Structure 1
Amino acid sequence: MAELDTLDIIVLGAILLGTLAYFTKGTYWGVTKDPYANVFANANGAKAGKSRNIVEKMEESGKNCVIFYGSQTGTAEDYASRLAKEGKSRFGLETMVADLEEYDFENLDTFPNDKVAMFILATYGEGEPTDNAVDFYEFVTGEDTAFSESNEPALGNLNYVAFGLGNNTYEHYNSMVRNVDKAFTKFGAHRIGEAGEGDDGAGTMEEDFLAWKEPMWSALADKMGLQEREAVYEPVFGIVDRDNLSAESPEVYLGEPNKMHLEGTAKGPFNAHNPYIAPIVESRELFSVKDRNCLHVEVDISASNLSYQTGDHIAIWPTNAGDEVDRFLDILGLKEKRHNVISVKALEPTAKVPFPTPTTYDAIVRYHMEICAPVSRQFVSTLAAFAPNEEAKAEMVKLGSDKDYFHEKTIPQLFNIAGLLAQVSNGEKWTSIPFSAVIEGLNKLQPRYYSISSSSLVQPKKISITAVVENQMVPGREEPFRGVATNYLLALKQKQNGDPNPEAFGKTYELLGPRNKYDGIHVPVHVRHSNFKLPSDPSKPVIMIGPGTGVAPFRGFVQERAKQAQNGAPVGKTLLFFGCRKPEEDFMYEKEWEEYKEALGDKFELVTAFSRQTKKKVYVQHRLQEYGKEVNELLSQKGFFYVCGDAANMAREVNAVLAKIISTERGVTEAKGEDIVKSMRSSNQYQEDVWS
């Protein structure tokens, strides 16, 4: 047999490699990435080689108190930061704040009993953990946790504190903190004080938190032998003037969220730490009446690696309006220094600066701070020491200490912090407030989430947004209260369409973005996965309840079913209950429903409820009651039931009506009807996408 020459060996080698590659595809290479995987480290995220061992981290940094947070919108993170500051200033605790996703928890059983761990845990959606708490929650509450293998109380050394953020309009109210507390107790951990629960549904979250923390501090002081001292403000961040830099210097951040955006090299994955600057390809008003208007916006994601599924959410990264930025900088006496370059430095090793630096005062306030949010009573107390005169100081002390007085003076006017400071001081500037206190006391500007109103089957690279513009007149105020993100979208729509804009407000947004990088009508976005999904089998019936902008995801659902029908798939009955005020005023997508009806025939039915067309108000829950027999039949055929919109009233009433329908149509007690609805929720046959 002739020896193989070099060419033969190369050819055989190539064939062998090709064969090996074919059989290992999807195992060792070519693995499809989860489009929602959060693998991009943010600008302040974990450094290479950073320890994920919290016990080791605390020992290294000399800490005896860690405050973990599970946060979706930033509130839990804010509470964690406030507890850290208060623990240090009032009781001399050496505190640190920790993001749950940045640490492992296998070693919680080695947590020293002379230290304390606090857990500030928000519940997201239908009893789910927040995105950054998923791994922690599964580890602590899952069946395969390492702690369950031990006969001894595995967490017997762990002293912990717990507070939950929830919404009582959801069935699984505060389930995150309840389930974690239950698991910790099971494994022998010692809770200090009560497990607190804040209720966003009742609008009492802030007061619930303030009421919980005082007895908690008392219990913790007893447990750890802490002595309370007079609280004095100690900055967490240092502000350094950078006179050698200007706003034009290439290394200065002017609102860019991370270094890749600063350098113009931003690439995916795009997520909650790294937005995609998406072009808006179309924007229009679905309706515009005296007191409100509604936008339809289409953003193009074709040049990104973003993808979405029907029923997902899109996050809009807003900027603050120029009017509000000016008002804020002015009351702090920073208007003349707005473009001065500063660096913000953490003064202790575990603190994280919430935005990239060096930057400018203007960029921080415009792109990174929630300056339009309602005022926090605790923050008011902090700022009292920096009042411009004794009269203002006395008023701030009273506001901060008297809950009823605070609510009386701030809630009806919907004051943000600049508005309140100006009111208290009669316009006198608050030039003594350290800017570090502002960074610590105000939340980071958060993305706003909207239910996507398009089908990924129909338009996979274009995302539709449907949003009512928030614009509310307030008694005693000259200017209305305006929503941050929806007015930002309105300003973009006005620019894109060349609308005459009689109001100056929309013109004050920096629509071109930092360094004019958003020119051509762009908006920063990312996509968030949702469990609000059509059944995988299109022949299953679906019943959808969506008044107002609650109809947004159902436009996507019906759009998808129409396409499936056009493709020849058997599509089940698709019943949509839509409510608005008047057919001639705010009937969203009226013409489109007719087009979908042509595609779906008798498989699609739109049932309308016009609340202001007749003397007696008619809502979607009333029309649902009328269709009780058909609704029950569809559910008996394993149909899926969906609700989107207002959680506090509509969603609760729909839930109650459905239980009554089942009770009546199936001849069972109302209690049994309620149990059946609960069972539907547990099996995902009943799904909600609701908000307060």
Structure 2
Amino acid sequence: MTTPIPSPPSIPFLGHAAHMDREIPFRSFQLLADQYGEIYRLNILTRKAIVVNSYDLVNELSDDSKFYKTVPATLQEVRRALGDGLFTAFKEEPNWGIAHRLLMPTFGTLPVRDMFDDMLDIAEQLILKWERFGPTYTVDPAEDFTRLTFDTIALTAMTYRFNAFYSETAHPFTQAMGDFLAEAAVRVNRPSVVQALMRGTNAKYEQDIKTMADLADEIIAERKKNPIDKPDLLNRMLYHADPKTGEKLTDDNIRYNLLTFLVAGHETTSGTLTFALYHIVKNPEVLRKLREEVDEVLGDETITRNDLGRLKYNQAVIRETLRLNPPASFRTVAPLEDCVIGGGKYFVEKDVSIVINSWKMQCDPKVWGEDALLFKPERMMDGKFEQYPPNAWQPFGYGSRGCIGRALAIQEAQICLACIIQKFDFVMKDPSYELKLKQTMTVKPKDFYIHAVPRTDKIKRVPRPVPKRTASQVAPAVPQATTVPSSSLPENAPPLYVLYGSNSGSSEGFAQRVASDAARYGFRASFATLDSAVNDLPTDGPIVIVTASFEGEPADNAAHFVNWLVNLHDQKLVNVRYAVFGCGNRDWARTYQKIPRLIDDTLDQHGAQRLVSRGEGDASSFEFFSSFDDWCQNLWKILPKEYHTTINEGQATSGIEIKELDAGTSRATTLRQPDTALGTVLENKVLTASGAATKRHIVIELPENALYRPGDYLAILPTNPLRSVQRAIARFGLSPEQQITLSSVGPTSLPTDTPITVSNLLSGYVELSQPATTRDLHTLSEVESSESTKQALQEFIDSYEKVQAQRLSVLDLLEDHSDIKLSFGVFLSMLPSMRLRQYSISSSPLWNPTQVSLTVSIIEAPSISGRKEPFLGVASTYIAGLCPGTKVQVSVRSSSAAFHPPADPMIPMVMFCAGTGLAPMRGFLQDRAYQKKAGREVAKSLLFFGCRNPGEDYLYSESDLKEWIEAGVVDVRPAFSRSPGSSSDCKYVQDRVWQDRKDVIEIFDSGAKCYTCGSRKVAEGVREVLTKIIKEKDNLEDEKAAALFHRAVEASRYATDIFD
């Protein structure tokens, strides 16, 4: 008995059209595959199809004796331009067989090998462009690779030069082709009545077809008029006959196939190269291995055809790119007869269209493992590629209707990749960029931009501070750096290189403070990312490095530097002098300070001179900022002595000059312009009972093309609470509408040289509630005030723990001591810049791929400083006040690789959380619930959830959790700290885990993955009780039980997300 093929809910007449993303339909197919599994049925505007996603089904369908290629609706629309060419011909059309037999020899191994010189010719034009434009030029890889592949297919197949690199604008053909393909992709989903009314669109569509056809006719006419003796594709179409029938191609079919190769021959390969470069830049280890291979095989010599076979890793990178990101993501087949597929499971009628989702199939964990979504070229090397089962890798389609030009495409990609790796280093314009997609007939990265930095020791990639240049004379470096203006420094002031690695902004903020202070101590500061210093650590001045670890990994803008540093081998850095300060979080004890320690130790091992002992800042501690202050104080004692600089003594100065432009008589508002980082609040509601600590559920529409997975974060840029802003304005006797401009003598995160109101400045650019540091206390004690105030400040300096215990901010101290005569400029310079706050996403893209929900605690607690007003959390207060329709600056941030639900829904999960730590768990369970709703088999998971009272803060208990319990998705075990009688006498999560340990053992032994989300206290309690369970179960000593627990962590069987 067969099983019905699942299908999403449909709408009359429209069918499943509402499920399709209009901009990126590809994404909808992937989300439906996540929800419905290996197969599902679609009906879009009466067009019916079955979509298959698993290797097992695709392997079964890869049989030309039982299934034939169909031409889907989109390609039928493309036939308007490509007719019965090889790509778009129906199976019964004879011209396909004639052309296929006639042209196959052109793409054999030896003919493609003979195209090498032409391919290299065009690749060198790309290299020349990037070299001439220089390292400050922003490269759009998708655009330049399109020029490359367009010129390559024209030269190799038609001996025709378009010279795309010699024009600033795209060739008219590529412009017309791009518009034509984009329109064809959406045209099929429009009702015919609507299409008929779109006269302007229809006219443009026809004109694009004519532009392409005219060019093809021009190329053909030119060849007929001036024939050449060369065995290229065009000559073969014009002058050769089908070896089987003796027939020649008609003039129309020659045009159709010429256009087919111009379109398909460049569009897909340009996408492959763009995806490959994205993965290379995002994976420093891949770049290093590629470079080592190229340097070993090629050195400084030009690549030859004999080198291709020796570039094994290059080939693996291309193969892995084509696996993860096949540019042609789908192909369609249909059965020649009624059949049953899936081992007798699914009945399929004759001639029913079956869409093969290559993108999903090539990431099937049953073939490629649980790390199938990771970019790992190594899986394509050393015989592994040949050992994968047949048909597991199908980026070029299958069988007789597979891509005829696959050898050409791979050779072209290999040559281009080797050439650019030989010549350039690469830096992403935006180091935090995460992959976005755009779709026409193929899929490519969107908004992916890089800087191509020539690989030569003569080029200095760390920005050099230089004396007395005007702003117009300073050329930006890559990545763009900030240099302190030199007007207040002597011309011979030594340079100070401040390099940082930062994702969340803390390290960058600390680094900015070092750069800002440099002028006071006689140094000319330069400020840039660590990645800008790859291969080029300066030796003419001290280097100050401020960087962080993120679960043991470097920051996004430090990954290339770290990879370069650890692979220096025997290279010496004897003239480098440096100091390192590391940011970290002791909650991740096993990887705490890993990257700063690695950088410090490696520099020392290679002969660099350490100027100051490495400093450590623990972000989970109140002493985070003061520890940096202490380290800086020591740094500034040593550097002036070492470099014989003069310290600018005297009262505290900010380096910020303020010019008043508007006294507040007119109202001026600085508006944030909408961009891709702007989300829209759709819903904001309270989840908890009246009188309980407030927790809210917020739904936000994501910026265009933003993607997320369950377990990811949403980073939000908040503003300070209005009350805090008003306090600061009142303390300095300002008007909220007063308009000022700021100028700075050093790097700053404040808006400079542009008018801004005092209210907007204090609201959005600085942290007003951050506890004062020891440096701040010293600054306040240096300015004019009464003796009693100076004595009070000195007491705080001597007993700094009192400041920490009360969380006294600079603003608090200024209010308590009104006689401190501090200027507004110095006050601004003392404040940290506003930071992004990250919140765990509490939804699944299967619920809605364009929206996320957050589950947030609103911080409004009695002030521990003794003030009457309650303490307000900056970000949570901001979030609580967001109304539907409000625009908010957001970005999706990936969580650690281990903190996502298993790809296989039959692997159960055990989740431990308390309060809003439920957020990612809700996303995990929502993912499973939608998979089960779609008809997939889903393992039941176990959720341990800590709350206070069942009637107060048992979040989602009467909605989602109740529904998912009834559906068999999850078994919830609550623990109520203030009502333990309602939770089997268990007060905390760890109490409930211990009581239910038999269930925990049973589900873990069945292969479950475990997750914890909550405070450090919750995570520690869960760790202790799980170790205790291991100890009791196997009768082990404490050390052995702890070792087994850590082994589970290392095997990705247990993952945590800790917050405070």
TM-score with structure 2 setting the length? 0.54
* CA gap 1:53/1:344 in 2 versus in 1, 3 angstroms: farther
Which of 1044, 1047, 1054 is the equivalent residue of 1:676? 1044
Asked if the contact 1:255/1:363 (under 8 Å) is kept, the reply is: no
How do 1:251-330 and structure 2 match up within 5 A?
254=670, 256=672, 261=673, 266-268=674-676, 270=677, 276=678, 278-290=679-691, 292-301=693-702, 304-330=704-730
Which AA in structure 1 matches 2:564? F
Equivalent position of 1:95 in the other structure: 525
Asked if the contact 1:660/1:673 (under 8 Å) is kept, the reply is: yes
* CA gap 1:30/1:77 in 2 versus in 1, 3 angstroms: closer
Asked if the contact 1:386/1:393 (under 8 Å) is kept, the reply is: no
In the TM superposition, what is the alpha-carbon distance from 1:244 to its structure 2 partner? 12
Q: How far apart in 2 are the matches of 1:311 and 1:678?
A: 22
Asked if the contact 2:725/2:763 (under 8 Å) is kept, the reply is: yes
Q: How far apart in 2 are the matches of 1:50 and 1:443?
A: 33
Equivalent position of 2:997 in the other structure: 628
More displaced stretch, 480-489 vs 285-294 = 285-294
Which AA in structure 1 matches 2:757? T
Asked if the contact 1:70/1:120 (under 8 Å) is kept, the reply is: yes
In the TM superposition, what is the alpha-carbon distance from 1:106 to its structure 2 partner? 1.1
Equivalent position of 1:480 in the other structure: 870
Indicate yes or no: 2:761 matched with 1:364: yes
**Deviation digits for residues 588-638 of structure 1 (CA, Å, limit 9, x no counterpart):** 010221211232x2x521111111114876211122222333323433343
More displaced stretch, 665-674 vs 650-659 = 665-674
More displaced stretch, 573-582 vs 603-612 = 603-612
**Deviation digits for residues 405-431 of structure 1 (CA, Å, limit 9, x no counterpart):** x443x4454333222201112xx5x6x
Which of 166, 170, 186 is the equivalent residue of 2:584? 166
Work out which of the two has the higher radius of gyration on C-alpha atoms and give 1 or 2: 2
Question: SS of 1:195's equivalent?
Answer: strand
Q: Where does the alignment leave 5 or more consecutive residues of structure 1 unmatched?
A: 271-275, 497-519
Q: How far apart in 1 are the matches of 2:1038 and 2:947?
A: 29
Asked if the contact 1:246/1:341 (under 8 Å) is kept, the reply is: no
Which of 952, 958, 964 is the equivalent residue of 1:585? 952
Which AA in structure 2 matches 1:173? Y
Which of 944, 960, 963 is the equivalent residue of 1:595? 963
Question: SS of 1:638's equivalent?
Answer: coil
**Deviation digits for residues 74-108 of structure 1 (CA, Å, limit 9, x no counterpart):** 3323332333444543x43333433335x232112
Equivalent position of 1:333 in the other structure: 733
More displaced stretch, 673-682 vs 354-363 = 354-363
Which of 726, 741, 758 is the equivalent residue of 1:343? 741
Q: How far apart in 2 are the matches of 1:164 and 1:58?
A: 24
Equivalent position of 1:619 in the other structure: 988
Q: How far apart in 1 are the matches of 2:452 and 2:1027?
A: 54
Equivalent position of 1:463 in the other structure: 852
Asked if the contact 1:255/1:367 (under 8 Å) is kept, the reply is: no
Indicate yes or no: 2:826 matched with 1:437: yes
Which of 20, 45, 57 is the equivalent residue of 2:464? 57
Which AA in structure 1 matches 2:685? R
RMSD across aligned positions (CA): 3.5
How do 1:171-186 and structure 2 match up within 5 A?
171=589, 172-186=591-605
Asked if the contact 1:236/1:351 (under 8 Å) is kept, the reply is: no
Q: Where does the alignment leave 5 or more consecutive residues of structure 2 unmatched?
A: 1-217, 223-250, 283-427, 433-448, 468-482, 484-492
* CA gap 1:589/1:56 in 2 versus in 1, 3 angstroms: closer
Equivalent position of 1:127 in the other structure: 552
**Deviation digits for residues 631-659 of structure 1 (CA, Å, limit 9, x no counterpart):** 23433343211110101x22112112212
Equivalent position of 1:117 in the other structure: 543
Equivalent position of 1:546 in the other structure: 913
Asked if the contact 1:64/1:95 (under 8 Å) is kept, the reply is: yes
**Deviation digits for residues 55-91 of structure 1 (CA, Å, limit 9, x no counterpart):** 55145666422222223443323332333444543x4
Indicate yes or no: 2:395 matched with 1:27: no
In the TM superposition, what is the alpha-carbon distance from 1:535 to its structure 2 partner? 1.5
* CA gap 1:317/1:247 in 2 versus in 1, 3 angstroms: farther
Which AA in structure 2 matches 1:651? A
Q: How far apart in 2 are the matches of 1:152 and 1:296?
A: 54
Which AA in structure 2 matches 1:163? F
In the TM superposition, what is the alpha-carbon distance from 1:439 to its structure 2 partner? 3.1
In the TM superposition, what is the alpha-carbon distance from 1:331 to its structure 2 partner? 0.7
Equivalent position of 1:651 in the other structure: 1019
Indicate yes or no: 2:658 matched with 1:239: yes
Equivalent position of 1:663 in the other structure: 1031
Equivalent position of 1:517 in the other structure: none
In the TM superposition, what is the alpha-carbon distance from 1:231 to its structure 2 partner? 5.2
* CA gap 1:5/1:92 in 2 versus in 1, 3 angstroms: closer
Asked if the contact 1:538/1:571 (under 8 Å) is kept, the reply is: yes
Q: How far apart in 2 are the matches of 1:56 and 1:527?
A: 30
Which AA in structure 2 matches 1:586? D
* CA gap 1:438/1:70 in 2 versus in 1, 3 angstroms: farther
**Deviation digits for residues 207-263 of structure 1 (CA, Å, limit 9, x no counterpart):** 3333434444445456545676735534433333346999767xxx7152xxxx1xx
Equivalent position of 1:575 in the other structure: 942
Identical aligned residues as a percent: 28
**Deviation digits for residues 455-488 of structure 1 (CA, Å, limit 9, x no counterpart):** 1122211110111110111263111011112122
Equivalent position of 2:836 in the other structure: 447
In the TM superposition, what is the alpha-carbon distance from 1:530 to its structure 2 partner? 1.1
* CA gap 1:202/1:523 in 2 versus in 1, 3 angstroms: closer
Q: How far apart in 1 are the matches of 2:1025 and 2:430?
A: 45
In the TM superposition, what is the alpha-carbon distance from 1:686 to its structure 2 partner? 1.6
Equivalent position of 2:814 in the other structure: 421
Which AA in structure 2 matches 1:684? S
Question: SS of 1:179's equivalent?
Answer: helix
- Relative contact order higher in (CA < 8 Å, ≥ 6 apart): 1
Equivalent position of 1:502 in the other structure: none
Equivalent position of 1:139 in the other structure: 564
TM-score with structure 1 setting the length? 0.80
Which AA in structure 2 matches 1:482? L
Q: How far apart in 1 are the matches of 2:776 and 2:504?
A: 19
Q: How far apart in 2 are the matches of 1:226 and 1:63?
A: 8
Question: SS of 2:264's equivalent?
Answer: helix
* CA gap 1:140/1:48 in 2 versus in 1, 3 angstroms: closer
**Deviation digits for residues 192-212 of structure 1 (CA, Å, limit 9, x no counterpart):** 232122223343223333343
Asked if the contact 2:494/2:643 (under 8 Å) is kept, the reply is: no
* CA gap 1:11/1:541 in 2 versus in 1, 3 angstroms: closer
Q: How far apart in 1 are the matches of 2:697 and 2:1033?
A: 39
Equivalent position of 1:512 in the other structure: none
Equivalent position of 1:377 in the other structure: 774
**Deviation digits for residues 315-346 of structure 1 (CA, Å, limit 9, x no counterpart):** 222222222211101112222xx333333223
Q: How far apart in 1 are the matches of 2:729 and 2:989?
A: 45
* CA gap 1:316/1:657 in 2 versus in 1, 3 angstroms: same
